[in-house]
Amino acid sequence: MQLNDDLVRFYYDYDKFQGRKLSREKVANTIGVLLDKARIVYYADFGRIFGYIESYRINYDQFGRIICGQKFDVGTEDIESGPICYLANITVHPAHRRGSTISLLLDRFFAQNRGAEYFVGQANRKKMGLVKVFKASAIHRHKKRFMEGVISNV
């Protein structure tokens, strides 16, 4: 699948935090699962990817396991229907981090997760960064704070 290959290549080229930690096979499998479950939104133009967001719709038990570093496997878990939208990763090409790419991605991300009760995430660049949690009713007022708190590669 061409999109899967393109996203894997983009991941290794531009995700500086996670890119060196996972094997290419693991990344390809994970991206394939996320594409199949419609949990990746991406922006591409003229066949080039400029950025993507991975998110999971999870329940409270899954959220607890994620933030406590316990076993969580996107391949076997229900990541499509929970009340919590967990922003797992966002990566944007360095040349497009100050342009419209982020706005496009965020519009798609929020449209995809319209029914979520909570939006949560954590910036991986922060050693002990707090998890940011916003109720859906407040996310649009606090979108900038949420994104500043969770974006690692922007």
Residue 97 identity = R
Average of pLDDT values for 9-29?
80
- Beta-bridge partner residues of 48: 45
pLDDT at residue 135, as a whole number: 74
Average pLDDT, the chain: 83
**In the predicted model, is pLDDT for residue 154 greater than 50?**
no
Question: What share of the chain in percent tops pLDDT 90?
Answer: 46
pLDDT at residue 96, as a whole number: 86
Place of tokens 């949990």: 39
Whether the CA torsion 72, 93, 12, 152 is positive or negative: it is negative
Integer Rg of the chain from CA: 15
Among 31-35, 95-99, 120-124, the range with the most confident prediction by mean pLDDT is: 31-35
Q: What is the pLDDT of residues 32-60, one digit of tens each?
A: 999 999 999 999 998 899 999 999 999 99
CATH top-level class of 2-150: alpha beta
Q: At what angle do helices 24-36 and 2-14 cross, to 10 degrees?
A: 130
Give the residue extent of every domain in the chain. Answer: 2-150
Q: What is the pLDDT of residues 61-82, one digit of tens each?
A: 999 999 888 999 999 999 999 9
**In the predicted model, is pLDDT for residue 127 greater than 70?**
no
